[in-house]
Chains A and B, each alone.
Chain A
Amino acid sequence: MTPGPRVSPAARRLLLAAGVFGPAVLLEVGLDRFVADSSVRQLVMTAAINVMIAASLNVINGMAGQFSIGHAGFVGLGAYAAAIVASHLHLALGGGDPTFAHSLVVVPAAVAAGAAVASLAGVLVGLPSLRLKGDYLAIVTLGFAEMFRLVLTSVPLDAKSGVAGAIAKLGGQIGYSGASGQGVPLYAGPLWVFGAASLIVVATWRIKFSGWGRALRALREDEIAASAVGVDPTRYKVTSFVIAAFGAGVAGALSAIMRDGIGIVQPDQFDFRLSFDAITMVILGGSGSITGAVVGALFVTFTVKLIELAQGLDAVRLFQSEHAWLDLNALRMVLYASVLIALMIRRPEGLFGEREPLFARKPRGAAPAGAA
């Protein structure tokens, strides 16, 4: 080995950390200054939230090879828990406009609450369904997410006491807009939202390439063989499910209190459409690929927005006024679905398969992925 200008491992780590978390800091300083349109800022932050949702779902649906179709339920639990904690803390801190100093208290507390509640629900849902063989998880998660929504919407709003009274305080179908009803305080600036997205991506990355992640992938490929080397299937599945729920809780928490957010948490934000969007992001990018989850999340976020924008174009409006029978919203879903179908026909394994093309961490042979 010839001594050359080499970067020491410590410096490399620092550089890597700066590369990963630098954007969050830059966006904190720059986003409000340079992007005047708050709906654009909201879109960019929503993209980061969706990255968290997809990256966390990828742990259970991609890496563990299970199939959860109720991810929205965990996102919703995280959102409600965070909104409640943030608005009460906000009042305790004297109200007023959210300041950065106060966000240092409110955001961690709200996110911790959202993550804790979602993880706890993850244990309760995951333990019974993942112990059993077969695909009970799909059914149970779908049921759980719908139950979460229905419990919120079906409690009479004039209920005063007991559990019903507590749930009624959350506003039913109309939604929860803070303890004082003035809107959920929006404390989480870009630093928090992008910082958390980066952290979740890095964390799932570490998981994938750790010994733990290797055991998880082994389990997905052959459960008997994995058990035979001593990997406990139930423990791995439940743990990865709880990790996914945790990430969803963080994403939900931040979506409820993000700056430029809408200040209200409603049950319908977390219906099955969000779960299916999340699944789309993961499958589109390639199940098991973290790069894929990120790209899938960005793709879905911006495609949906682009189609929405196109709907607002004068030409399109004119067209619709002439053809009133056309339901543009339905058309949008058709268009979106067609894009997905085309992609899945061209690349059934998703954009990246299980690979991480920008980072050659996992050397792979020339063989096609999934040649099982």
Chain B
Amino acid sequence: MRTAHPTRPEPQVADGAPLLALRDVQVAYGGIHALKGVSLEVGKGEIVAMIGANGAGKTTTLKSIARLLPLAAGSITFAGQDLGRLDTESVVTAGISLVPEGRAIFPNLTVRENLEIGAYGHRDRRAMGETIDDVVQLFPRLGERMKQEGGTLSGGEQQMLAIGRALMARPSLLLLDEPSLGIAPRLVQDIFAAVGRIAESGTTILLVEQNTRLALAASSRAYVLRTGEIAKHGPSAELARDPEIRAAYLGG
């Protein structure tokens, strides 16, 4: 997986400083307070998981990082840069790509077009071609379906396409929103193996999952979100042994 961006230099963070930091982030939908002050950090090169029940605010957190939702309070910094001032387009340019929840691909565009539009932020022909090759290596199934319309792929393949599309931007930080949702178990394995390989190539990952077992196995640290607040956080291996977590999310 080639990760160097054609124009943007690798984001620099001081030793010990996080790549991404949320401080007391609050988001409201009209009167509904979806995030009541979320603080979290993701270090460069880490896979960090965010787990929590349906409606806990996981998607809202990722959308607010991608600047798809306005912040009611708090701040988000990425490599020392305040994201609060940026629009979504600039966030992508800064190196953050979101894989939205629920197979959000473009059904009437071909697989290749879906991938190409992922490079919208830099439009660098060479990087585009290289990343398409890398994505095909990562997900060989996509390679066989380049000319097919996105909507004709299976659910798992669409998820692969959505991840591939996000990689086309050569992000430094990849935000994954429930990549296992509604996907055949066999393909879930493939997708999580790919997530591992993406991380090995140096891309930082914030992984949102309802499938707690998978998420804790794939990550080094994790945050537990409960009704818009961080209820717990720590090394994933520790959380996996935590009796409370086991009872609430791992079925005992």
Whether A and B are associated in the same complex: the answer reads yes
Residues in B with CB closer than 8 Å to A211 are 116, 120, 123
Residues in B with CB closer than 8 Å to A224 are 68, 100, 104
Residues in B with CB closer than 8 Å to A364 are 110, 149
List residues 193-232 of chain A with CB under 8 A from any CB of chain B.
211, 214-215, 217-218, 221-222, 224-232
What is the interface size of chain A, counting residues whose CB is below 8 A from a CB of the partner?
25
Cα of A110 to Cα of B23 in the assembled complex, Å: 58
B198 within 8 A of A: no
Cα of A218 to Cα of B152 in the assembled complex, Å: 16
| The residue from A214, A222, A371, A372 contacting B113, defined by CB atoms under 8 A apart | A214
Cβ A365 vs Cβ B148 within 8 A: yes
Cβ B120 vs Cβ A229 within 8 A: yes
Interface string of B62-97 (1 = CB under 8 A from A): 000010100000000000000000011100110001
A367 within 8 A of B: yes
Closest to B63 in A: A224
B117 within 8 A of A: yes
Interface string of B139-176 (1 = CB under 8 A from A): 00000000111011000000000100110110000000
Cβ A222 vs Cβ B106 within 8 A: yes
Interface string of B96-117 (1 = CB under 8 A from A): 0111100011111110010011
Residues in A with CB closer than 8 Å to B120 are 211, 215, 229-231
Instruction: Evaluate whether A228 and B106 lie within 8 angstroms (CB atoms) in the complex, with A365-B148, A365-B152 already known.
Output: no
Cβ A217 vs Cβ B169 within 8 A: no
Cβ A232 vs Cβ B113 within 8 A: no
Residues in A with CB closer than 8 Å to B151 are 367, 371-372
Interface string of A344-372 (1 = CB under 8 A from B): 00000000001000000001110101111
Minimal beta-carbon separation of B97 from chain A (angstroms): 7
Cβ A227 vs Cβ B88 within 8 A: yes
Cα of A76 to Cα of B35 in the assembled complex, Å: 50
Cα of A227 to Cα of B104 in the assembled complex, Å: 11
- Tally of A-B residue pairs with Cβ under 8 A? 92
List residues 325-340 of chain A with CB under 8 A from any CB of chain B.
none
Cβ A214 vs Cβ B148 within 8 A: no
Closest to B62 in A: A228
Cα of A354 to Cα of B107 in the assembled complex, Å: 13
Cβ A230 vs Cβ B113 within 8 A: no
Cα of A226 to Cα of B92 in the assembled complex, Å: 11
Residues in A with CB closer than 8 Å to B196 are none
| The residue from A214, A227, A228 contacting B109, defined by CB atoms under 8 A apart | A214
What is the interface size of chain B, counting residues whose CB is below 8 A from a CB of the partner?
35
Minimal beta-carbon separation of B163 from chain A (angstroms): 12
Residues in B with CB closer than 8 Å to A214 are 109, 113, 116-117
Cα of A227 to Cα of B91 in the assembled complex, Å: 10
B87, B108, B116, B162 interface centre (most CB from chain A within 10 Å): B108
Cα of A372 to Cα of B158 in the assembled complex, Å: 12
Cβ A228 vs Cβ B110 within 8 A: no
Cα of A224 to Cα of B62 in the assembled complex, Å: 12
Instruction: Evaluate whether A369 and B147 lie within 8 angstroms (CB atoms) in the complex, with A230-B88, A230-B93 already known.
Output: no
Cα of A354 to Cα of B149 in the assembled complex, Å: 13
B118 within 8 A of A: yes
Interface string of B191-228 (1 = CB under 8 A from A): 00000000000000000000000000000000000000
Cβ B117 vs Cβ A215 within 8 A: yes
Closest to B87 in A: A232
Minimal beta-carbon separation of A227 from chain B (angstroms): 5
Cβ B169 vs Cβ A365 within 8 A: no
Minimal beta-carbon separation of A372 from chain B (angstroms): 4
Cβ A232 vs Cβ B89 within 8 A: yes
Instruction: Evaluate whether A225 and B100 lie within 8 angstroms (CB atoms) in the complex, with A232-B87, A232-B89, A372-B108 already known.
Output: yes
A230, A365, A370 interface centre (most CB from chain B within 10 Å): A230
B43 within 8 A of A: no
Minimal beta-carbon separation of B68 from chain A (angstroms): 6
B121 within 8 A of A: yes
Residues in A with CB closer than 8 Å to B108 are 217, 221, 354, 369-370, 372
Cβ B89 vs Cβ A230 within 8 A: yes
Cα of A227 to Cα of B152 in the assembled complex, Å: 23
Cα of A225 to Cα of B101 in the assembled complex, Å: 9
Cβ B98 vs Cβ A221 within 8 A: no
Residues in B with CB closer than 8 Å to A370 are 107-108
Minimal beta-carbon separation of B69 from chain A (angstroms): 11
List residues 258-273 of chain A with CB under 8 A from any CB of chain B.
none
Residues in B with CB closer than 8 Å to A230 are 88-89, 92-93, 120-121, 169
When A and B form their complex, which 6 residue pairs have the shortest distance between CB atoms, in order from nearest?
A230-B92, A225-B104, A230-B89, A367-B152, A372-B107, A221-B106
Footprint of A on B, CB under 8 Å?
A: 66, 68, 87-89, 92-93, 97-100, 104-110, 113, 116-118, 120-121, 123, 147-149, 151-152, 162, 165-166, 168-169
- Can you report 18 A-B residue pairs in the complex whose CB atoms are below 8 A from each other? A214-B109, A214-B113, A215-B117, A217-B106, A221-B106, A221-B109, A222-B105, A226-B117, A227-B66, A227-B68, A228-B66, A229-B97, A229-B165, A229-B168, A230-B89, A363-B110, A367-B151, A372-B108
| Additional pairs, 15, CB under 8 Å, beyond known A228-B68, A228-B88, A229-B121 | A211-B120, A217-B106, A222-B105, A226-B106, A227-B66, A228-B99, A229-B97, A231-B89, A231-B117, A231-B120, A232-B88, A232-B89, A367-B149, A369-B108, A372-B151
